[in-house]
Amino acid sequence: MKNFFVLLAGASLAILLSAAGCSKQQSAPPVMPPPEVGVVKITAQTVPVTAELPGRLDAVRTAQVRARATGILLKQVYKEGSDVKEGDVLFQIDPAPLKASLDSAQASLDKAQANLQSTQAKADRYKALAEINAVSKQDEVDASAAALQAKADVEAGKAEVETASLNLGYATVTAPISGRIGPALITEGALVSQTQANQLALIQQLDPIYFDFTQSSTDVLRMRSLFDKGQLQKVAPNEAKVALLLDDGTIYQNPGKLLFADITVDPSTGMITLRAEFPNPDHILLPGMFARVQLEQAVDQNAISVPQRAVTLTSDGGASAMVVTKDNKIEARPLKLGQALGENWMVTDGVQAGEMVVVEGLQKIKPGMTVKPVAFNADADNK
């Protein structure tokens, strides 16, 4: 009987151990497959290297309208803020005193011409008489000298008439260039003269228009070093693309052209001055406006770019991306970013062509995880 109870206890223990083993086997969690992540394979491509530089717009030609004759300003002819053409009448100075000066000069000229006629006749007569010894040689010389002096008086009279005529013409003030004219700076009734410091008005030619900007000489030297190493290719002469970025963030519709870069460096700032020219048919651009220019300086034939959605920016100014290694492991990779190009960041260090960066599924991965990379379909993502 005792042996029966021992066998019964052993059988019960075996049943309990078997049940516990089955329960433990059933509660083991299933093995999860690695998460899928959308990746983009990095490829080298040819992209322009551009610089965004600040500057100011400036008129191609600027002319100060000044009085060239002395007199009372009678009338302002033009409309302030309008476009004028070269030769258009702008102001009228009182011509009466200038007309009187011209008449006086003409009278003096007439008098001199009459005197020349008399003295020249006397000189001719004395010359003939001197040949037959009818007059002394001294009388002939005096008559000839008087004729020459009378001739000089006539030439001086002609110059005075021409000067008076010019001054009378200057009473009508015309536009020296074509362009847009500003407000009148002298009121009607004021006395003006060619010696006064104040100008009458200002004309500026607005089409085309200049954009003057500066670039660090350090950047220029760095660019030349990259050219010498063959890492960048120069843009062909006269083919550098220039775009103007306005204050409101829009890009000006008309592209410009680079005219020149200064050959000297400003010693106080270390900057080099450059100038571009933009067509301005609608006069949208005005002198004095601040803007930024996007200047294509070179071409990088082996540029590396990463989609912006793959890049994480940190508070300290750093950047990183999740890279899928050859064994499908996630690796956090710090990046050195260049300029933004469309929806991509240009990368100067951190990833290489052929590597894969994660652009979709970043929230479910961390460094060291095994993942299943799947080619990212941007078109499907936008639907």
* Span 341-379, pLDDT tens digits: 778 887 888 888 888 888 888 888 888 888 888 888 766
pLDDT band at 52 (very low <50, low <70, confident <90, very high): confident
**From the candidate CATH numbers 2.40.50.100, 2.40.280.10, 3.30.70.20, 3.40.50.300, the one assigned to the domain spanning 70-93+171-199:** 2.40.50.100
CATH fold of 95-170: Helix Hairpins (1.10.287)
d(CA 77, CA 153): 40
Work out the percent of the chain whose per-residue pLDDT is above 70: 86
Integer angstrom CA distances of residue 268 from 223, 254, 272, 310, 371: 22, 34, 11, 42, 56
Which CATH number does 44-58+206-382 carry? 2.40.30.170
The sign of the CA dihedral 110, 114, 115, 121 is: positive
Which part of the chain has CATH 2.40.30.170?
Answer: 44-58+206-382
At 2, is the pLDDT very low, low, confident or very high (cuts 50, 70, 90)? very low
- Give pLDDT, residue 309: 85
Over 70: is that where the pLDDT of 203 sits? yes
pLDDT digits (tens, 9 = 90+) for 169-182: 999 999 999 999 99
Q: In this predicted model, what pLDDT tens digit does every residue of 252-281 receive, in sequence order?
A: 989 888 887 777 887 888 888 888 899 999
In the chain, CATH 1.10.287.470 covers 95-170
Residue range(s) in the chain whose domain bears CATH number 2.40.50.100: 70-93+171-199
Report the C-alpha gap between 189 and 92 in whole angstroms.
11
